[in-house]
Amino acid sequence: MSEPAIITLGCRLNAHEGETAAAHARAAAIPDAVIVNTCAVTAESVRQAAQTIRRIKRDRPDARVIVTGCAAELEPERFAGLPEVDAVIGNSEKLDPETYAHIARANGKVVKTGAAALARSVTPPSPDAAPRTRAILAVQNGCDHRCTFCIIPFARGPARSMPIPDAVANVRRLVAAGHGEVVLTGVDLTSYGTEMGKPPALGRLVRAILRGVPDLPRLRLSSIDPAEVDAELLDCLQHEPRLMPHLHLSLQSGDDMILKRMKRRHTSADAIRFTDRVRSVRPDVAFGADLIAGFPTESDEMFANTQATIRACGLTYLHIFPYSARPGTPAARMPQLPQKIVVARAAGLRQEGRERLADFLASQVGEEHDVLTERGGTGRTPQFAEVVIEGPARAGSIVRVKVVRHDGRRLIGQPLTGIDASLVSASRRPEIEDRA
């Protein structure tokens, strides 16, 4: 009997939850289990999930295939109808140990979904989840906004936040386990605390973690909405060096009319003002952004405005999503662009991203950074630039590195100091690397 395997598609939050799901499956001793943790952000991601399931069963005919994640939450009947699938469980159910005990006992197909719509709390990670250099901690889940293109609120349920004392305790546990960095994540991270009728409190959470866990080497934020960033978070960026100078923005577009049709809460000018303001208090900051190419009604001029906003904001890391109509969303009823235009614009933005990244990497040559090392002789700078380290670097250490060149995608650096072995337990299993 092999250990349960987890295949996660999609975001950091899904990756974090996948590790907890795998830990629960191990505890339930489900034989030969393979968990497919799906994404539903685009129609293509749902298609890829089905393709992955078929491939697993072809390669491992005896595997018990458990399908979960956003696509399973939204389309349980579709996945339950696949002959390769043994169980379909929702986003809340995958975090419940009893779900896996039920699957282990069941003789037939199990379908358990729908609890996400009723969820009112954030499930902490399992203490048995696989260790990694960079630990992900979900402190928020769900979303109360209704962007016209997005189906995810229906898969994740209402916004809810982990209480600050619980978040601090979880970070303390992760640091004690040897993690050199903790990434705070959520579906709508910058709305942290608003479901309690209060203003956004992400800054207060960040400050509480940094004060409550003084031995935490690095704290990082995942995707944030610039319309929700509170003053205390900006103050933390200015005065807390352990809060990493890297912000990934949920921009989606750089054209004001498209932003309005998306029902976003910022303009292109707001985005530019925000990045300028952050740079004024944290000059070494690097920005990434999520952008949708080919949104319905987008003209050539509107597309050009997005390109101009990328440059005006000084974005470094671009995540580009070709627009995909999701049934049940308002945008799916808008006039759609021909697919070839959507594909071409996505390619144009990806090229823009490669150029912006190359420019940023070139600016780093000759600089020195404290790099959190990962397996395979690589690591990440505070700005999340990937570094190939030409020298000894034990995974999980923080090493001072001088950047000597770049290859257009990654920095190449040479270590200036020895390995700080205190930041990692010698007994840890190899970490799982994380994507931007």
Same-domain check for residues 253 and 155: yes
Same-domain check for residues 323 and 391: no
Residue pair 169/139 in contact by the 8 Å Cβ criterion: no
Q: How many domains does the chain have?
A: 3
Q: CATH number for the domain including 379?
A: 2.40.50.140
Q: What is the pLDDT of residue 343?
A: 97
Residue pair 188/150 in contact by the 8 Å Cβ criterion: no
Same-domain check for residues 166 and 300: yes
Whether 151 is covered by a domain: the verdict is yes
User: Tens digits of per-residue pLDDT, 214-269?
Assistant: 999 999 999 999 999 999 999 999 999 999 999 999 999 999 999 999 999 999 99
Same-domain check for residues 177 and 146: yes
User: Tens digits of per-residue pLDDT, 50-90?
Assistant: 999 999 999 999 999 999 999 999 999 999 999 999 999 99
Same-domain check for residues 353 and 374: no
Q: Dig out the tokens for 117 from the structure.
A: 């719509």
Q: At what angle do helices 300-313 and 339-364 cross, to 10 degrees?
A: 20
131 half-sphere exposure, CB direction, 13 A CA radius: 20
Domain boundary among 118, 152, 184: 118
The pTM is what? Answer: 0.88
Alpha-carbon distances of 162 from 19, 32, 157, rounded to whole Å: 18, 33, 15
Same-domain check for residues 141 and 185: yes
Whether 290 is covered by a domain: the verdict is yes
Whether 126 is covered by a domain: the verdict is no
Whether 127 is covered by a domain: the verdict is no
Q: CATH number for the domain including 76?
A: 3.40.50.12160
Domain that holds residue 341: 134-362
Same-domain check for residues 285 and 138: yes
Four-point Cα dihedral 168, 171, 176, 182, nearest 10:
-150
Whether 428 is covered by a domain: the verdict is no
Q: What is the pLDDT of residue 131?
A: 55
User: Tens digits of per-residue pLDDT, 182-227?
Assistant: 999 999 999 999 887 778 899 999 999 999 999 999 999 999 999 9
Contacts of 208 (CB under 8 A, 6+ apart): 164, 167, 168
3-state class of 259 per DSSP?
helix
Domain boundary among 333, 362, 391: 362
Whether 125 is covered by a domain: the verdict is no
Whether 95 is covered by a domain: the verdict is yes
Same-domain check for residues 394 and 335: no
Residue pair 84/54 in contact by the 8 Å Cβ criterion: yes
Contacts of 95 (CB under 8 A, 6+ apart): 17, 20, 21, 24, 123
Report the C-alpha gap between 319 and 306 in whole angstroms.
13
Q: pLDDT means per 10 residues in the chain (436 residues)? A: 83 86 90 92 91 94 94 93 94 92 89 78 66 84 94 91 95 92 95 85 96 97 93 96 97 98 97 97 97 98 98 97 94 97 97 96 96 92 96 87 96 77 35 36
Whether 346 is covered by a domain: the verdict is yes
Report the C-alpha gap between 151 and 146 in whole angstroms.
8
Same-domain check for residues 80 and 106: yes
Q: What is the pLDDT of residue 128?
A: 55
